[in-house]
Amino acid sequence: MSHGDATETGGDHLYRAVDAYYGVRRMGRAIDARFRKWERRHGARALRYSLAFVFFWFGITKPLAISPADQVVRPTLASTPILNELISFRLFFQALGWWEALVGLGLLWKRTVRVAVACMCVQMASTFTPLFVIPTETFHWWPLVPSAPGLYIIKNFALATAGLAVVSLDSEPLFERSRTRRFRLTGSPATGLRKRIEGVLATGRRVLRAMSSRVTVGSLHMGLGLVFVWSGMLMVSASPTPGQWVASVVPNSLIADSVFIPLLGVLELAIGLYLLIPGSRATHAAAYLCVGYVGVTMLPVVFAPSEVFATMPFEPTFEGVYIFKDLILVTGVLTVDAYLGDGGPGGPGDDA
């Protein structure tokens, strides 16, 4: 082979390598564009449906007496003398379950979302009571190292902000406003004045809606970041967490616990830190990490369904309830990314 042929062959290899690089880059941009399109079209709806699913399922199991939440609700009620005297545990637990189930049903329709979220906020305010009433049950080391029930309750903060975000992004008024007006201005000058007033009012409503959306989505953004960082720090520091239970049910032949636990902690910590870093690109990175995170946390459903469900598939264990709540966290991150992440690769803010 001549020197010229060798040079030509080397150039061909370089050309193919560069062409392959740009081909992979184009494919990545196409995938990212589809991902962003899905987020914008379905993100808020997926968050609303995941909230509805969790609330209805975890609510209806209480009156059916198959909910694991009694291990938290019973000692909380017993430690609250006034409530304990006024109502029996059975009646209180059933009423709480029906309330949550109705919240879940209300989240299925846009017109009833606002009523459902208002009821959800009332219920959520009571769910934080065990953190202070029975700290020995909800914390291994108060107030930094929560137990599985404690972290389950702490995640409710993210659920509450998710509900408020759904109200801003994916709801409609319960009753349509009447288009008829009791008083009408007539005449040419009066008609112009009426149109100007209507324009000002419409602009004011749009501004208020935009401000409300930014505040609620921002609160969800911050809440999700804090929950992921807290959970990740506990995992990395080898504190007792539900994440360790996830690792314990995955076969060691697939991945050793000593490797899986810190990896899951680093993944949670990375998601949380990306969410707390200002900028849409960081949020977009967190969204991609969440896709992998939900796959990892659902491994027990595949490898140890008996640990997730006491009776398949309706009666969840406490650990099962915990991991299914992660669906709300993940769809919440996707919703935040769709709302705030317009500057990421492949988005409208990156046309280059």
| pLDDT tens digits, 211-239 | 778 888 999 999 999 999 988 888 887 66
The residue behind tokens 């921002």 is 218
Q: What is the pLDDT of residue 350?
A: 40
Q: What is the pLDDT of residue 112?
A: 95
**Are residues 15 and 289 in contact, defined by beta-carbon separation less than 8 angstroms?**
no
Q: What is the pLDDT of residue 178?
A: 54
Q: What is the pLDDT of residue 271?
A: 96
Separation between Cα atoms, residue 41 and residue 206, nearest integer Å: 21
Give the helix/strand (H/E) hosting 140.
strand 139-141
Q: What is the pLDDT of residue 348?
A: 42
DSSP designation for 25? H
pTM of the entire structure?
0.81
Separation between Cα atoms, residue 38 and residue 142, nearest integer Å: 41
Q: What is the pLDDT of residue 88?
A: 86
Q: What is the pLDDT of residue 301?
A: 87
Q: What is the pLDDT of residue 341?
A: 62
Structure tokens at 16: 């193919």
CB atoms within 10 A of CB 3: 7
Query: Which residues in the chain land under pLDDT 70?
Result: 1-11, 148, 177-194, 198, 201-202, 205-209, 238-243, 341-352
Q: What is the pLDDT of residue 153?
A: 81
